[in-house]
Structure 1
């Protein structure tokens, strides 16, 4: 059972950063993995623009830093091409040279942060809708409802703003249908079974569980009895065979029916 989407669109952005070691213009293996994870959650058809902005820390000569920051930006563009992201949507690619220290404390951390490329993805934001009755009275224990329009920031357990109104309506329905106990199941794509991926928000490798918990926490905060709810991260153990977008999902599963 799928939640339907409306047909109102707007423009918005996703921004993330990838970090380089000193004097290098290629990512290490950990950052490469983070890049692949981020790109795996992009819906290429919705991308309207890409900006790639390279930076260096405050050490080194100006000319060297300017060149290095451009190399870093071009490297990220090459990685996008390798992941089949159409780079004719790159509207801005720039090397911005060094970033000065903001304060005299935490110099090592500041420099590590400043050795980066910011990737800014402009995309179509849909004004999403939902059917009034997503929990009909005919459901049985074990039935699942896919929340197709509950969307998150790439590689994070943070809801996109356009999903909040959808979740509000889902919450009201769950509060009304007190006969159902519900498990919230988070799924990810593009990984071997039994392995979760990193939540960029916390740094922990539990993204599927973290996304399920965000929904759980929201429902409880809005007044749903926590005794009716559970949550679980399903990792990439249950692909639907309908592509990566379908595998990145949150489901509601009926776990009990109260008489």
Structure 2
């Protein structure tokens, strides 16, 4: 596979970001298996990135204890990532914010649990005038299972989405049926669906206009998961991840065809 071709014409940098969050039990800074899996996935990103890590708490306990707990959460995530990331990812900071960034009113345990978190801000810089043209990945639909390798990433050809929505274009229907058939006939396969967006380089992720949430890359991947579940594939075989705009096939998107190519879901083989 050819390497990404990058032509840099200017040195001015345009900041692009996304964010992901990890959640913790009350009064704990230990990472659970779900959080470790998410960090493992982040560590495999191939772009040149900077991670900034912020620990948070709910309102339980006093200010001093909450500050220390949030610092422990941020530091624990930082130390875990140090053992996983490559040279392309830089850990810029790990800060405990205590209770400064409450995202709800803590009126129920479910709401409090959303404040017991670590937010990871992921930053990528595109040069002004930078151009990216990436060769399409091998198709999951046309690769023999015997030739697939765990951790390989595959494309889902023609499975692209309407702008700002998690609804795929009708041209993808037949290939999604083929995806279902492969998974049905190979029940040992486990996969991760990775969603992508186009165009929005100022936010963490795109806005899903159907749901009003800023996690469009995730909702696109999850839409395919929901489709597969309705066809009888077990949910334990399918993970979902949203990568925002971090891995464009084409940048910048000049035409609608460019934008459509970036509105996609790719597939990582987790288990054979």
Tell me the TM-score normalised to structure 2 length: 0.48
- String of CA shifts for 1:132-177, please: whole Å, max 9, x gaps: xx9xxxxxxx69xx87xxxxxxxxx999x9xxxxxxxxx9xxx9xx
Shift of 1:84: 3.2
CA RMSD of aligned residues (A): 5.1
Aligned-partner Cα distance in 2 for 1:32–1:68: 19
Closer, same or farther: CA 198–107 of 1 in aligned 2, 3 Å: farther
Structure 2 counterpart of 1:150? none
**Partners of 1:80 and 1:86 within 8 A in 2:** no
**Partners of 2:23 and 2:35 within 8 A in 1:** yes
Aligned-partner Cα distance in 2 for 1:55–1:77: 14
Structure 1 counterpart of 2:115? 114
Closer, same or farther: CA 194–233 of 1 in aligned 2, 3 Å: farther
Closer, same or farther: CA 65–91 of 1 in aligned 2, 3 Å: same
> Is residue 14 from structure 1 mapped to residue 18 from structure 2 by the alignment?
yes
* Residue correspondences, number: 178
**Partners of 2:56 and 2:101 within 8 A in 1:** no
Aligned-partner Cα distance in 2 for 1:209–1:74: 24
Shift of 1:63: 0.4
> Is residue 30 from structure 1 mapped to residue 34 from structure 2 by the alignment?
yes
Shift of 1:83: 0.5
- String of CA shifts for 1:22-42, please: whole Å, max 9, x gaps: 1111111222222212322x1
Structure 2 counterpart of 1:252? none
Aligned-partner Cα distance in 2 for 1:50–1:232: 23
For structure 2, the residue ranges without an aligned partner over 5 or more in a row are: 137-141, 144-153, 180-187, 195-217, 226-234, 244-255, 258-263
**Partners of 1:13 and 1:121 within 8 A in 2:** yes
Structure 2 counterpart of 1:39? 43
Match of residue 269, structure 2, among 236, 248, 252: 236
For structure 1, the residue ranges without an aligned partner over 5 or more in a row are: 135-141, 148-156, 162-170, 176-181, 187-192, 212-221, 224-230, 240-259
Structure 2 counterpart of 1:82? 83
Shift of 1:10: 3.9
**Partners of 1:99 and 1:114 within 8 A in 2:** no
Structure 1 counterpart of 2:69? 68
> What secondary structure is seen at the aligned counterpart in 1 of 2:269?
coil
> Is residue 95 from structure 1 mapped to residue 99 from structure 2 by the alignment?
no
Shift of 1:85: 4.2
**Partners of 1:80 and 1:87 within 8 A in 2:** no
Tell me the TM-score normalised to structure 1 length: 0.50
Closer, same or farther: CA 105–23 of 1 in aligned 2, 3 Å: closer
Shift of 1:119: 0.9
Q: How does 1:158-197 map to 2 (within 5 A)?
A: 183=175, 194-197=189-192
